[in-house]
């Protein structure tokens, strides 16, 4: 199976763009089929596999990204380090590492599984629905970032206090607090008690 980056539009021999497919899953995360990416997010949403990455620096600060204004879903909002969808048949861990590099130009120096969370979050701004079975990952970043401007508007490393302040005044993705809260046990284990997560 060929793997096509989600940021690229490819044309087939007939001159039409290839659809980006997501894995549809049941409530236990078992694959039951595929759907085109945008169709899976149309109301009421189809339950599909996703992943969320939380990377930290050596001071225990969380790397946030502000999504590029050109993105069709949740443009310009702040969110966790990286979140996307595996291609059908792609392991979530491999997808998380791949997509982190594609979006931020950096490979995590450590990446570990942090459980899963299932949610249903309508996005009021776009009208799209995040109906996801989300695989969580935590890790460390120790290299300079090289964000892709088509994907990422800007980035910031934040402490828990700085995150609370930013969350009170800026717009965050509809799923952000759900995935952060689900990943907190693994985040605390990674960063230690002094980091305050």
Q: Please give the positions annotated as active site.
A: 83, 132
H/E element holding 179? helix 176-191
In the DSSP assignment, the letter for residue 19 is P
Q: How many helices (H) and strands (E) does the chain have?
A: 4, 9
Distance, in Å, from the CA atom of 91 to the CA atom of 3, rounded to the nearest integer, reads 12
Tell me which DSSP letter residue 68 carries.
P
Rounded to a whole number, what is the distance in angstroms from the first to the last CA of the chain?
40
Residue 127 burial (10 A CB sphere; 0-12, 13-18, 19+): exposed
Burial bucket for residue 123 (CB in 10 Å: 0-12, 13-18, 19+): middle
């Amino acid at each position: 199976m060929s793997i096509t980056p989600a940021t690229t539009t490819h044309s087939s021999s007939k001159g039409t763009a290839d659809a980006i497919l997501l894995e549809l899953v049941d409530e236990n995360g078992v694959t039951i089929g595929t759907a085109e990416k945008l169709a899976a997010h149309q109301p009421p949403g189809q339950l599909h596999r996703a992943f969320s990455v939380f990377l930290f620096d050596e001071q225990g600060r969380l790397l946030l990204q502000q999504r590029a204004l050109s993105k069709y879903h949740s443009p310009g909002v702040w969110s966790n380090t990286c979140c996307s969808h595996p291609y059908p048949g792609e392991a979530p861990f491999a997808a998380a590492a791949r997509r982190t590099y594609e979006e931020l130009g950096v490979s995590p120096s450590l990446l570990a599984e942090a459980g899963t969370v299932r949610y249903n979050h309508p996005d009021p701004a776009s009208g799209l629905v995040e109906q996801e079975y989300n695989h969580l990952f935590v890790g460390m970043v120790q290299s300079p970032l090289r964000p892709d401007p088509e994907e990422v508007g800007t980035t910031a490393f934040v402490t828990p206090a700085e995150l609370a302040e930013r969350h009170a005044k800026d717009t965050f993705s509809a799923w952000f607090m759900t995935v952060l809260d689900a990943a907190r046990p693994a985040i605390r284990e990674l960063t230690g008690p002094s980091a305050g997560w």
